[in-house]
Amino acid sequence: MDYMSEYKRWLDCSALSADEHAELAAVADNQEEIESRFFAPLSFGTAGLRGVLGVGLNRMNRFTVGQAAQGLANLIVSNGQAAMDRGVAIAYDSRHFSAEFAKQSACIMAANGIQSLLFDELRPTPELSFAVRHYGCIAGINITASHNPKEYNGYKVYWEDGAQLPPAEADVVANEMAETDIFTGVKTADYDESVKNGLIRILSKETDEAYLGEVIKVAVNPDCVKQVADEFKLVYTPFHGAGYRLVPEILRRLGYKHIICEPEQMKIDGDFPTVKNPNPEYKEGFTLAIELAKQNDVDLIIGTDPDSDRTGIVLKDKSGEYVTLSGNQVGVLLTDYIITAKKLTNTMPAHPAVLKSIVTTEMARAAAEKNGVACFDTFTGFKFLAEKIKQFEQDGSHEYIFAFEESYGYLCGDYARDKDAVTASMLIAEMAAYYRTQGKTLYDAMEEMYEKYGYYCEQTISIVMPGVSGLQRMKELMQELRDKPLTQIGTHKVDYTRDYMPGTRTCMADGKSEPMELKGQNVMYYELEGGTTFIIRPSGTEPKVKVYIMAKGENKAEAAAKVEALTAAAKEIVK
């Protein structure tokens, strides 16, 4: 594609508003910026679209969103009238233009004869997944860029099971988009008229009630909350996003009486003014919440990202300092707690299973298997965990009791098929109450996990590779790793290399390969001597390469030292 020709096409297009035209005219002398905006369309995959807001082919704007909506509409129409009649659920988060893109998508669906079920205001991502299943929709749309910086927005598409769009359907949408002229090929209808004629139906509190009714069923041992509710206090922050109503509400329904919400971050604001990055992974975002916790002598803080699918927590340690837990640590705590609580309440299924991704801590496997629970790996991304849940439903081999990823995503229950910060917040609060009845804090519980299951340490390193050159470098890096296999990383010898694209595991000593069940993803996985793991993969949603290091040691210090040494090695490999 000739990016300059495409730039001129947009610049000359009468469909652009004065502001949009001015934005493009302002970069006329900046070749690098023009190339960045027009070198290729935003890629539509199983996670939909995600990109920086702005005018251009490689940006999130009303034209690229319209093209995606028309592509999805074409897919639904191709499935026949019955699919069209089932409709599409549409939700959005607190980001700039999220509400506008959601409304626009509903109007495009209406113009194609497809009913939309549009939420009346921002909602958590998992409630959208729930709504697709609850109302029997053929698909769902969520306008969100999750935990990305404020400059981003996204267009996530779900299929009829409430999970993200499967690869085959995603390919159809991508092909339809390629065949749809971005300015003249998108149908649209009048919003008010579509509401009147029923092609746009507004979802409100009745859906919240149905959703919360399912979430509360996931509570395993809520009686322990009653025992401590009079004195237990916790702090909650939604990071200016969609969890602001439903997370405090589910905590109240669980039985908590003292939920202290951080007032500044309860304000809905797509600029996320109180944080550099609206990601509960980073302690910096909890600065205001920690101050509030100190003032109220609170030892548990829960935070959810702007679309309320990821959950982070901050705990007070033994010295009184506030510390963040990693997604791996929270996942292991919940794995152990859910198993313990299900045994206590006699609700453990006959063939229980815990699900995690290949880049998630092996400590979860130790916690599950030591308690007689199977543990299965999937590729990174909750859509793959959802596929495994669906497989269990179909073959009856296991019943999953918990699924999680290291990236702060957790799910329990069968009402949704995407990570849920509302449910996770409830389970974390229930777990904290349980340990309080034992005279312990969650920090104490985490220390006990290491004693029970071993000393594990993990680190994720993200190397940003922006723009056209970054995409090329990512491709080159992954090809280099295949062309010149690593035999040693730092001081650690590589015992086995797993290439998840063809799905092969190769012994480095004799060069013999064996097939693996998982295949078709661009991931290189190195099993190092001593049980340490080193994984490299390009991010599916951001211009970065991710390196995951997972180590086990005789004690905390040894495990941490292994990770530190490999972190230095990673920066030499990924340049």
CA–chain centroid gap for 58, Å, is 22
Q: Write out the H or E segment, with its range, that includes residue 301.
A: strand 300-304
Pair 132, 162: CB distance under 8 Å: yes
Query: In terms of residues, how long is the chain?
Result: 575
Residue whose tokens read 């007032």: 263
Q: Dig out the tokens for 489 from the structure.
A: 């990383």
Pair 430, 221: CB distance under 8 Å: yes
Q: Dig out the tokens for 64 from the structure.
A: 């690229």
- List beta partners, residue 404: 356, 410
Residue pLDDT tens, the chain, 575 long: 699 999 999 999 999 999 999 999 999 999 999 999 999 999 998 889 999 999 999 999 999 999 999 999 999 999 999 999 999 999 999 999 999 999 999 999 999 999 999 999 999 999 999 999 999 999 999 999 999 999 999 999 999 999 999 999 999 999 999 999 999 999 999 999 999 999 999 999 999 999 999 999 999 999 999 999 999 999 999 999 999 999 999 999 999 999 999 999 999 999 999 999 999 999 999 999 999 999 999 999 999 999 999 999 999 999 999 999 999 999 999 999 999 999 999 999 999 999 999 999 999 999 999 999 999 999 999 999 999 999 999 999 999 999 999 999 999 999 999 999 999 999 999 999 999 999 999 999 999 999 999 999 999 999 999 877 888 899 999 999 999 999 999 999 999 999 999 999 999 999 999 999 999 999 999 999 988 999 999 987 778 999 999 999 999 999 999 999 999 999 899 98
Q: What is the pLDDT of residue 86?
A: 98
3-state secondary structure 163-228: CECCHHHHHHHHHHHHHCCCCCCCCCCCHHHHHHCCCEEEECHHHHHHHHHHHHHCCCCCHHHHHH
Domain architecture of the chain: domains with CATH: 40-203 (3.40.120.10), 216-453 (3.40.120.10), 457-573 (3.30.310.50)
**Closest to 315 (Cα-Cα) out of 404, 440, 448, 441:** 441
d(CA 89, CA 91): 7
Catalytic residue (choose from 36, 105, 146, 407): 146
Per-residue b or e along 510-524, where b marks 16 or more CB atoms closer than 10 Å to that residue's CB: eeebeeeeeeebebb
Per-residue b or e along 412-421, where b marks 16 or more CB atoms closer than 10 Å to that residue's CB: bbebbbbbbb
Helices 62-78 + 167-179 axis angle, to 10: 120
Q: Catalytic annotation on 5? A: no
CA 306, 312, 316, 317 dihedral sign is: negative
SS3 504: strand
Pair 453, 370: CB distance under 8 Å: yes
> CA dihedral defined by 391, 394, 398, 403, rounded to 10 degrees?
40
Residue whose tokens read 């304000």: 267
* Phi and psi, residue 213, nearest 5°: -65, -35
Q: Dig out the tokens for 200 from the structure.
A: 């746009």
Q: Write out the H or E segment, with its range, that includes residue 550.
A: strand 544-553
Q: What is the pLDDT of residue 466?
A: 84
Pair 535, 547: CB distance under 8 Å: yes
d(CA 383, CA 368): 22
Q: Dig out the tokens for 476 from the structure.
A: 């080159």
Strands 88-92 vs 116-119: parallel, antiparallel or unpaired:
parallel
CA–chain centroid gap for 16, Å, is 33
Q: What is the pLDDT of residue 1?
A: 66
Which residues are within 8 A (CB) of 422 and not within 5 positions of it... i.e. 6 or more apart?
Answer: 124, 126, 127, 211, 212, 215, 243, 246, 247, 250, 304, 308
**Closest to 448 (Cα-Cα) out of 460, 463, 434:** 434
Q: What angle do CA 300, 128, 120 make, to 5 degrees?
A: 100
| pLDDT digits 0-9 by tens, 293-309 | 999 999 999 999 999 99
From residue 199, give the alpha-carbon distance in Å to each of 85, 192, 193, 486, 518: 10, 10, 9, 56, 41
Q: Dig out the tokens for 515 from the structure.
A: 């097939």
- List beta partners, residue 117: 89, 201
Q: What is the pLDDT of residue 575?
A: 81
Q: What is the pLDDT of residue 540?
A: 73
Which residues are within 8 A (CB) of 397 and not within 5 positions of it... i.e. 6 or more apart?
Answer: 351, 391
* Phi and psi, residue 105, nearest 5°: -65, -40
Q: Write out the H or E segment, with its range, that includes residue 392.
A: helix 382-395
User: What is the 8-class DSSP label of residue 499?
Assistant: E
